[in-house]
Amino acid sequence: MTISAQARLHFMGIGGAGMAPIAYIFHQRGWYVQGSDHSQNNNLVNQLQQLGIQVSPNHAASNLDGIDVAIYSSAIKPGFPEFDRAQADPEIQLLHRSQALWELVQVKTVIAVAGAHGKTSTSAMLVDLLNADPQIGDTTFIVGGAIHNLRDPIPNGHWGDSEFAVIEADESDGSFLNYQPNYTLITSIEPDHLDHFGTYAKFEQVFIDFCQKTQTMNFLCADNLGVQKILPKLDSLKIPYQTYSIQQPSSKILETNSKDRGLKNEREIAVSSQQSAISSQDLTGVSGDQPKTKKDESFGDAGLGSEANIDSVFALRDHAWFGEHNLSNALGAATLAQFIGVTDSAIVAGLQNFQLPKRRLEIVRDDQQIAIVDDYAHHPSEISASLQAIRAHFPNRRLLVIFQPHLYSRTKFFQKEFAEALSSADYAIITGIYAAREKAPGDVKARTIAQHNDKLVAEENLDQALRLLITKIRPSDVVVTMGAGDIWQVLDQLKQVIL
């Protein structure tokens, strides 16, 4: 590693979901770690402080006194006093968070999960599948959301003793090109972060470049149009890959016709050396320890053909997660897991017992009086997928949504798509935009989305939006808090009002 064991590290923006787990693991492994973050009420900041890590509430240049390595998140730009000092001081090594992350995990066999949607959920699934195999053991992970991790005070980071590390690879600024993973899984490629990339062509190219950096094998979801578009380019560059699909028949992809049955889900996942698919056939007598092979009747009509070799069929019963998009994530995780040698029984156990990360279709309350779901969806496609999943899970119930847009640039670019996605709810109110790393341009607000559909309501003030939502709630309704910002903070108020 280029960071010496004696180096003193300072993390700028240490309370961010992408920064805190890296800082925590460096601290856990013996480095001196400190940081700065203007948000002192952040749960991650509080946890780090309880570990003895000093966190300054400002970004003063003096924070770097005696520091050898300064690590910054993408939210930290030139103009921040700490950043400017680190950039100008030859005695201080300046690293982006992605470089620091790679410094940690490059000693492992690295599995990187990338894509416009589903990175955190798919990463968490992979961790559970690997951990379920006793031959693999305790898996290292650094992901962007709080997964069900009872071992660590920072729930989205863990250093394990197995050879494997699962990392969430953030494409938002192209910094994932600092990684050279052994295996890559790409869930989707869809326009986003065009404030950074400028054009979709450049956004698409960064995924091709990332696949090219993968040392052993790429796994891509061929149901996604963006993925389909780059496959010929991967072929021309002779980049190795496998595809998986829950939808499309082709020479490499299996067809499926599966329906979500709510909490009592029954699925078969078929994994082969060339292709993978989902089926909703009768599962009687099927288990993860009973692999089906050539000419398997259950999948004969799914496009495999008489000579297809199915390595394993995994039966899942009564698993708690739901949604077609999560079924796709599960297929991708199972495909990669089997490729690296995870046993069939471990894959079944891992998926059977898997719990979605916090704020990923998280059912906060579920009874006949009311249901409350908290979800991280912040892109139109994610909103559509989540609302479709929630409707299927809670059939014949009204769906009310309070949505907090994330980033002005994304809101402006996808305003019509947001309106279309949210209009599938019975009632949707849009509140003020969560700025994150951006400055308010002045002309992009909640009404920027609401103006495109008369069903939608805009209310800039979050408290007022919540009060308005509460007046609309009826018995048996499903209320959804949605967005990547701090919309989750209204949950306590919501639960107190709805008895």
pLDDT above 90 covers what percent of the chain? 54
The pTM is what? 0.81
Residues 321 and 450 in one domain: no
C-alpha closest to that of 364 among 253, 482, 265, 280:
482
Rg (CA), the chain: 23
Residue 220 lies in a domain: yes
Confidence of residue 318 (pLDDT cuts 50, 70, 90): low
Question: According to the model, what pLDDT value does residue 499 have?
Answer: 57
* Partners of 363 in beta bridges: 373
Residues 143 and 83 in one domain: no
Strands across the sheet with 183-186, in order?
157-158, 140-142, 164-168, 109-114, 183-186, 217-221, 241-244
| Range name among 58-62, 254-258, 418-422 with the lowest pLDDT average | 254-258
pLDDT in tens, 117-171: 888 999 999 999 999 999 998 999 999 888 876 678 888 999 999 999 999 998 8
Q: Is the pLDDT of residue 115 over 50?
A: yes
Residues 275 and 220 in one domain: yes
Confidence of residue 59 (pLDDT cuts 50, 70, 90): very high
Question: According to the model, what pLDDT value does residue 72 have?
Answer: 95
| Pairing state between β 183-186 and 54-56 | unpaired
Q: List Cβ neighbours of 51 (8 Å cut-off, separation of 6 or more).
A: 24, 27, 153
| Range name among 149-153, 270-274, 293-297, 457-461 with the lowest pLDDT average | 293-297
Residue 228 near residue 237, CB atoms below 8 Å? no
Q: What is the CATH number of the domain that holds 229?
A: 3.40.1190.10
Average pLDDT over residues 346-357: 86
Q: What is the CATH number of the domain that holds 33?
A: 3.40.50.720
Q: Which residue has the tokens 């496609």?
A: 381
* Crossing angle between the packed helical segments 415-422 and 380-393, to the nearest 10 degrees: 0
pLDDT above 70 covers what percent of the chain? 83
Mean pLDDT over each residue of the chain, to the nearest integer: 83
Query: Domain ends where: 45, 76, 96?
Result: 96
Q: Is the pLDDT of residue 420 over 60?
A: yes
Residue 311 lies in a domain: yes
**Number of domains the chain is built from:** 3
Residue 39 lies in a domain: yes
| Pairing state between β 32-36 and 8-12 | parallel
Question: According to the model, what pLDDT value does residue 26 have?
Answer: 97
Q: Is the pLDDT of residue 309 over 70?
A: no
C-alpha closest to that of 281 among 330, 244, 316:
316
C-alpha closest to that of 275 among 227, 343, 220:
220
Question: According to the model, what pLDDT value does residue 492 have?
Answer: 83
Question: According to the model, what pLDDT value does residue 351 have?
Answer: 87
Residue 160 near residue 193, CB atoms below 8 Å? no
Q: Domain residues for 338?
A: 108-353
Residue 420 near residue 453, CB atoms below 8 Å? yes
Residues 140 and 224 in one domain: yes
| Range name among 76-85, 260-269, 443-452, 455-464 with the lowest pLDDT average | 260-269
Output 142 or 74, whichever has higher pLDDT.
142
Question: According to the model, what pLDDT value does residue 245 have?
Answer: 84
Residues 336 and 393 in one domain: no
Q: What is the CATH number of the domain that holds 444?
A: 3.90.190.20
Question: According to the model, what pLDDT value does residue 278 have?
Answer: 42
CA distance 121 to 128: 11
pLDDT in tens, 170-209: 887 778 899 999 999 999 998 765 666 567 788 889 999 9
Residue 206 lies in a domain: yes
Average pLDDT over residues 443-450: 93
DSSP 437-456: TPPP-SS--HHHHHTT-TTE
CA distance 268 to 308: 16
Question: According to the model, what pLDDT value does residue 326 have?
Answer: 86
Residue 141 near residue 22, CB atoms below 8 Å? no
Confidence of residue 248 (pLDDT cuts 50, 70, 90): low
Question: According to the model, what pLDDT value does residue 251 have?
Answer: 25
SS3 235: helix
Question: According to the model, what pLDDT value does residue 171 have?
Answer: 81
Based on the number of CB atoms within 10 Å of its own CB, is 28 exposed (0-12), middle (13-18) or buried (19 or more)? middle
| Range name among 100-109, 265-274, 381-390 with the lowest pLDDT average | 265-274
